Chain A
Amino acid sequence: MALRLRLEDVTFSYPLPGKDEAAALEGVTLSVEPNSVLCLAGANGSGKSTLAQVCTGLLAPTSGALYYGEERIEGRGTLREFRRKVGLLFQNPEDQLFADTVEKDIAFGPRNHGLKGDELSRRVSESAQLVGLSLEKLGARSPFSLSEGEKRRAALAGVLALDPEVLVLDEPFIGLDYEGRHSLESSLERYRDERGASIVIVTHELSHVWSLATAFGLISEGRLVRFETREQLLSGDTDIGALGMHLPQWGALARELLRAGISIGDPTDPRALAGAMAERRGAGGGA
């Protein structure tokens, strides 16, 4: 299958060693397929935010190459179009929202890339709809007058308005409650399905992406340590704790069962887990 985004042996170091949150990247190789949700997980300081920025072209690799499809990305020529195809949503909506009105903010991206008139308004309203934001109600308001949840949606709409093929999100779920996470998950899944988009979520909290992600990359000290599916992650002996993270209860339970030799189907399906446990209990002579 044609790969979208590809990093080949990418190394990155900040020009000023000793700067706080910057962690270098060492020999990172990774690929992103269409119609997928990739989770890049790492503890704070592991290099995950740096990786997110390299993936979106905001930082240029010190060595190694970045590809989009067959095209190598470097220099201003390729960068501009690349930044349209790969969108980045920052952790804090306040780091991203800035226009007078919500509508103008969402329009900022596509307008910078030459869209105007009817086409522009159509793109803006489509994006707002995708994230569940009502332009009639909020379009003319200042982005800063919105509630936290509305701000996040406005920021996401602003990025989706570029119609990116790859969407990178840096810690999008922090501070959201259950319903907020659920709402964001549906927006992302919808965008992936309608557009065949690749979603890349960078986070330190595996529980946020446990059911959403189709593949996992674990980052530690600037290196991409593993690139696994959920099942591989659970059946291998990766020490998640040593990487500064932890499995959500779902994953931890599934892993314990697998280690006990109990086969389970879908590790995110409670009925599968319960069924497997009931069988074991029944077989053990209890019940």
Chain B
Amino acid sequence: MTDDHSAEISTEDLSYTYDTGRQPALTEVSLQFERGKMYALLGRNGSGKSTLARCLNGLLVPSSGRVLSCGLDTADPLNALAIAGKVAMVFQNPDTQMVGATVEEEVAFGPENLGLEPSEILRRVDRALDLAGITGLALRQPLRLSQGQKQLVAIAGAIAMEPDFLVSDESTSMLDYTARLRVLDLFERLRRGGMGIVHVTHFLEEATLADKVVVLDAGRVEAAGTPAETLGDPGRVRALGLDPLAVRVVAYELGRLGHAVPDDVLSVKELMSWLYA
């Protein structure tokens, strides 16, 4: 009996080194990502999270080990086109990923590369703009939009590929709070629609929204589990080079004063509820 791996991305002992002779960026990373779930990838600068993200859709090919994107080996160049259609990616800098002169052209770029018929391209573009909530921006010039709007356009461009997975390489890092909320809201809607979201971020509060959190350090997986499991201990979080959640630091102090706070209390609202419980 064969397992159906078409709905997941799996890395098997994935290692990656940028230039031979230098330190490996990733060492023996074995992870599985499923559709319909949101994953947060955390880690200090240089921990390898961006490298890992780029291995998931074949932008980078493993130095050793293997990555199977929806059943396709990323190391095989013949799979490149198919993988691009299944695992889409958006990047950190809203400005450097824009290609088109209008938003419509920008979003159509991907489907055009897939060699689809104009009527199909149009359908996808309309749907993507609608999902991202930016139908009104269709004829605007992308480079004249706000940073947040640009990222929504970039995500729409990815949605238009109708992928199974969306990998976000720190796509919220350069946005202000309102823009971030819009992006995260869109991620959630896509997830509910069945897409798998892998979101690389250094905002821990964003990670609390994920189904599963993976923390990398020096190219290895140092923690993987629910947000509560991975982010609950502020000392451990700090040791991994991350800024611990205020709620958890206070929870730790409360624990020392004899008031135990459950691990799954991660937000201010939850902590206040516990206070009054």
A→B interface (CB under 8 Å): 20, 43-45, 148-149, 174-181, 204-205, 244-246, 248-250, 252-253, 256, 260, 270-271, 273-275, 277-278, 280-281, 284, 286-287
Contact = CB atoms under 8 A, between A and B. Distances in A.
A178 B242 contact: yes
B176 A178 contact: no
B253 A274 contact: yes
User: Interface of chain B, helix or strand or loop or mixed?
Assistant: helix
B202 A177 contact: yes
A170 to B, nearest CB: 13
Interface residues of B, number: 38
A148 to B, nearest CB: 7
A260 to B, nearest CB: 7
Interface string B165-176: 000000001111
Contacts of A176: 45
B44 interface: yes
B177 A273 contact: no
Contact of B250 (A181, A270, A280): A270
Contacts of B256: 274
A273 B247 CA distance: 10
Interface stretch (B110-118, B153-161, B268-276): B268-276
Given A253-B246, A253-B271, A273-B253, 12 more contacts: A43-B178, A44-B176, A178-B238, A179-B45, A205-B176, A246-B177, A248-B246, A249-B268, A253-B247, A271-B253, A274-B254, A286-B277
A177 B253 contact: no
B275 A277 contact: yes
24 contacts: A20-B144, A43-B177, A43-B178, A44-B146, A44-B147, A44-B176, A149-B45, A174-B173, A177-B45, A178-B238, A178-B241, A204-B176, A205-B176, A244-B178, A245-B176, A249-B267, A253-B247, A260-B275, A270-B246, A273-B253, A274-B256, A277-B254, A277-B259, A284-B276
B115 to A, nearest CB: 35
B258 interface: yes
Contacts of B250: 253, 270, 273-274, 277
Given A244-B178, A256-B272, A278 B258 contact: yes
A287 B258 contact: yes
Contacts of B178: 43, 244
Nearest to A171: B174
A256 B269 CA distance: 9
Interface string B41-52: 000110000000
Given A277-B250, A281-B275, A253 B268 contact: yes
Nearest to A44: B176
B200 to A, nearest CB: 12
